[in-house]
Each structure stands twice: as C-alpha cells, then as structure tokens.
Amino acid sequence: MTEAAELPPAPEQAREVFGERFADAVRYAELLAEAGVQRGLIGPREVPRLWERHLLNCAVLSEAVPEGVTVCDVGSGAGLPGIPLALVREDLNITLLEPLLRRTNFLTEVVELLGLDHVTVVRGRAEEVMGKLPPVHVVTARAVAPLDRLATWGVPLLRPYGEMLALKGDTAEEELKAAATALTKLGAVSTSILHVGEGVVDPLSTVVRVEVGESPGGVRFAAKRAKAARTGRARRRR
C-alpha cells in the first residue's frame, strides 16, 4: 500500500493572500489532502504541491474578478478555483456548479465547515441549469475542457456584458486561436490573456478572459434561455 503524501506547510505567500481566512485555507488544504484524495477528487501526487499549484494558483484569480459580482464556478470539482476565490473575496456571491454527487457532497461539507455563507453548491450540468439559475456577471473554470467546448457551457450562463475567466496553462494562446470562431458565435465581443499572481506564484497563473455583449451564447442560446425561463415561470404558477 502506497504511503499517503504529506501536505507541506503553507508558504508565507498564503498568509498574505488569504489574510484573516488563512486558517480556513489551511483547513481546506488538509481536507483536500485527506478526504479529497480518499474520495478520488484529487490525485495523491498533487498533495505536495497543493499550495502552489492549486490553492494559490486559484486564489490569485481574484485579481481579475470585479468587486461585488455574482460568480458561477463551472465544473467546480473539488472546489477549484471557487473555494480559494471565496476565501479571499467575501464580497462575491459564488455558485459552485458540479454534476457529480460525490463532489457536490464534498463541496457542501467544505462550505459548511468553513462558514462560507456567500457560497452555494448546485448539482447539475451547465447546459441543464441555464434558465434555472440567475445569469451571473462572471463564470470561472479550471481544467474543465478545451476552451471552445468550455465556452458552450459557460458563456450562456452569463448576463449581458459578463465575462468568462478560464484558468489555463501553456496552451492558452493556441486554445484561444482555435476557439475564435466558436466564441464569436457565442456572442463574445472581446478576448484576452491575463497573467496574474505577481509575487505569489511562479509561473504566473494564466487566465483567458472572454467578454460577451448583450446576447451571451448568441442567437441559439437566446431562444433556449427564453424557453427555460417560460418553463420556470409556468412551474412557479402551479
């Protein structure tokens, strides 16, 4: 039986980034290293690099998120980037969207344990909840899917003039080029690549930003969204 990898002490940067929530960040890291590994939410090899590669890498996404907005973390998995973002930004109203029950159970436990009152866990796929969840200002995602496919799930959840922020790696520029046509059809009006986390993470975290106009998801999803809204109103009247 392979011995479990040990969680290293939190780096000094974590104290600076998480501030008053540092102790909660440590508890979350411990939960990932223990229950997260046991339940198959993260691989045991990730434990030694949980702080740099996962918690801090996700927390610095906050640099790109406007103040006081609503956020939907699509395919939240073990809560990355949604929970680190919630720990550093209590001004945000965050929904962790995840289709798998074992993951949503873990997320619910973490949210309750850490007292994250500004976070809601929703079980479902992005394409299923459109029209059921209020449109958000910002959609976040990390390691969910290639950008073109991710955009078909995330962009329709946005409100007009919202933005999708996707944490990506070295392939960010290539993915953005490959997804250009699909993004335009989905109503994107501007795209860019940001590098965040100066002085916190090395290498910097790479974020693909997709900004939409007045029709998130384009014409196809406008009709789908309207149909979902009508269905929701009909159910409420019963």
* Residues in binding site: 75, 80, 126-127, 142
Cβ atoms < 10 Å from Cβ of 37: 20
The annotation places the binding site for S-adenosyl-L-methionine at: 75, 80, 126-127, 142
Task: Give the separation between CA 71 and CA 55, rounded to whole angstroms.
Answer: 18
**Considering only CA atoms, which of 116, 69, 78, 118 is closest in space to residue 98?**
78
Q: Which residues contact 152 (CB under 8 A, 6 or more apart)?
A: 127, 182, 186
Q: What are the structure tokens assigned to 130, written together?
A: 């459109």
Q: What is the dihedral of CA 179, 184, 190, 196, to 10 degrees?
A: -30
Q: Are strands 70-74 and 93-98 parallel, antiparallel or unpaired?
A: parallel
Cα–Cα distances in Å, from 233 out to 50, 160, 226, 227?
44, 21, 11, 10
First to last CA, the chain: 56
Cα–Cα distances in Å, from 193 out to 75, 108, 158, 190?
21, 32, 19, 11
